[in-house]
Amino acid sequence: MIRKASVKDLPAILALYRAALADEECLTEREARALFARMRRYPSYGVYVFIRRRRVVGTFALLVMDNLGHRGAPSGIVEDVAVAPEMQGRGIGREMMAFALERCRRAGCYKLALSSNSRRVKAHAFYESLGFKRHGYSFLVEP
């Protein structure tokens, strides 16, 4: 089952980030609560969790944003996709991305984009198996 995350899910989400994304600079639960409260005020932005046997085993964030370009068609962006390492390969990531894609279709998005760390080669193969194509370049500057 996929549903929007609640504050109660934050400890499990942070644990997934540490385990699945090797996020050593993960927020504290207190920091996450403050940020989560702010994020919930954004229109068309959600953090979602995948529940299996009453346990959070997957998560992702989806933003559907309006655009002045592309004749006003919105676009979707997926971030922070994580599946518990022991649950990978069981269709959870596939189901989460299908959920995000369907949300984008219903919103009239012209694209769904995501980014992935260049070291996550297995994740790239997974995204390509879902029909994602490498597109353009991603640039980064640290302010």
Reported as a single tens digit per residue, the pLDDT across 112-132 is: 999 887 788 888 899 999 999
Cβ atoms < 10 Å from Cβ of 52: 13
Q: Where are the domains of the chain?
A: 2-129
Confidence of residue 143 (pLDDT cuts 50, 70, 90): confident
- Residue 140 has what pLDDT? 74
**Contact, 64 vs 109, CB < 8 A?**
yes
Taking only the tens place, the pLDDT of each residue in 4-29 is 999 999 999 999 998 887 767 789 99
> How is the chain split among helix, strand and coil, in percent rounded to 5?
40, 25, 35
The fold for domain 2-129 equals Aminopeptidase (3.40.630)
Spell out the residues 6+ positions from residue 100 whose beta carbon is closer than 8 angstroms to its own: 48, 60, 62, 76, 78, 112
DSSP conformation letters of 51-71: EETTEEEEEEEEEEE--SSGG
Identify which has the larger pLDDT, 142 or 24. Answer: 142
Query: In one letter, which amino acid is 71?
Result: R
